[in-house]
Amino acid sequence: MTSDIKKQAAHDAERMLHSVWLGRGIPVDPVAIARMAGLRVVEAKLDENILGALVKEPNQDPTILLNDGDGENRKRFTCAHEIGHFVRRSDDDTEYTTVDLRNPDSASGTNPEEVYANEFAACLLMPANEVKILADFGVEDWEMAIKFKVSREAMQFRLKNLGLR
Amino acid sequence: MADAEPPPAAAEIAAATQEVQGVVQAGTARDAPELPPHLKNLPEQGQWLELLARRQELQLKGTYAKGILWLLGVQFAVADLVFVIYAWAGRDWNLSAQVIDVWLGATVVQMIGVVQIVTRHLFPRRDDRGGA
């Protein structure tokens, strides 16, 4: 079940990259991608427990809201994560609000929506082909993290998921 | 599903939802910045990979260079040792000039040949690649 969700997320992220980011190399800019996909991306000071949110209101473009208090790499991952939620709900025309909190449930891999969004974000920011090539060259995880502009922890997790380290 | 972790408290989610909806509706949030230009101007992926390939080649050259130097040392040591044994145990120290010439000459040619093959064929000059 989780495996199918992850495969779908990887597939969708790859299609998103091909659709709007082809040839632009790395690091991928999730804010630019979101805007090209028709989303507004804004940031504001939020409660420290809130990572970000995706808000869809009637007759409005969906809005990704990021927490101004977070670091750049964290915000990049949150933005990519919210794009994942958007893609997952792209056929949902009703109004909705998805809030991501800084709690273990988001990362534990138990909630299918979060599993999808996390995998989508990882695949969007750290495309498998590029990661594999760099891994073949023996590039260290911290070097890759700098190149992809993600946290070292996220990079290590991605390498592990791809079976490269 | 029985082993699934409990979701965040409903009240916590409700409060967070209310907060983010309030921020979006109030229009107080500012546009999130895209990647700054100096990061967008990083070398394209192909150039990056080319740089990595050059780095890997340099590392490989270093390994070969150390190996060749080590082999050269061993080769000359063995040649000299056999030379001494030949002179000492075999005949006398008055070796003919012809024997010395051939012996040392063959050793030098052999090592130059090995180095030439490795450097010329394993690591061709960049300006030789694809050249007419």
ipTM: 0.88
Query: A115 in contact with B at a CB cutoff of 8 Å?
Result: no
Residue pLDDT, tens place only, A54-85: 999 888 889 999 999 999 999 999 999 999 99
> Helix, strand, coil: what percent of chain B each, to 5?
75, 0, 25
Question: Is there a contact between A25 and B53 if contact means CB atoms under 8 Å apart?
Answer: no
Decide: A56 and A33 in contact? Cβ < 8 Å. no
Per-residue pLDDT of chain B (132 residues; tens, 9 = 90+): 444 555 667 888 999 999 999 999 899 999 999 988 777 655 555 666 677 777 777 888 888 888 888 988 888 888 888 878 877 776 666 777 888 888 888 888 888 888 888 777 776 665 555 443
| Token pair for A28 | 């991928």
Which architecture characterizes domain A2-125 according to CATH?
A: Orthogonal Bundle (1.10)
Closest CA to A76 of A104, A102, A41: A41
pLDDT of residue A79: 98
Contacts of A57 in chain B (CB under 8 A): 24-25
Region for residue A98 given its phi and psi (left: phi exceeds 0; alpha: psi -120 to 50; beta: otherwise): beta
Residue pLDDT, tens place only, A99-144: 999 876 656 668 899 999 999 999 999 999 889 888 887 889 999 9
CA of B7 vs chain A CAs: smallest distance (Å): 6
pLDDT of residue B2: 45
Decide: A151 and A125 in contact? Cβ < 8 Å. no
- Considering only alpha carbons, which residue of chain A is nearest residue B39? A27
Question: Is there a contact between A101 and B4 if contact means CB atoms under 8 Å apart?
Answer: no
Domain ranges of chain A: 2-125
Cα-based distances in Å from B32 to A21, A41, A44, A103, B67? 19, 6, 9, 24, 54
Question: Is there a contact between B20 and A65 if contact means CB atoms under 8 Å apart?
Answer: yes
- In A21-71, which residue ranges form alpha helices assigned H by DSSP? 30-36
pLDDT of residue A17: 93
> Helix, strand, coil: what percent of chain A each, to 5?
55, 15, 30
Decide: A77 and A51 in contact? Cβ < 8 Å. no
| Range 21-80 of A in CB contact (< 8 A) with B | 25-27, 29, 31-32, 35, 40-44, 46-47, 49-50, 53, 55, 57, 63-66, 75, 79
Closest CA to A83 of A64, A98, A65, A99: A64
Question: Is there a contact between A43 and B30 if contact means CB atoms under 8 Å apart?
Answer: yes
| Token pair for B34 | 């895209």
Ordered DSSP codes for B58-91: HHHHHHHHHHHHHHHHHHHHHHHHHHHHIIIIIS
d(CA A111, CA A116): 9
Query: B32 in contact with A at a CB cutoff of 8 Å?
Result: yes
Question: Is there a contact between B8 and A42 if contact means CB atoms under 8 Å apart?
Answer: no
Of B6, B16, B42, the CB nearest to A50: B16
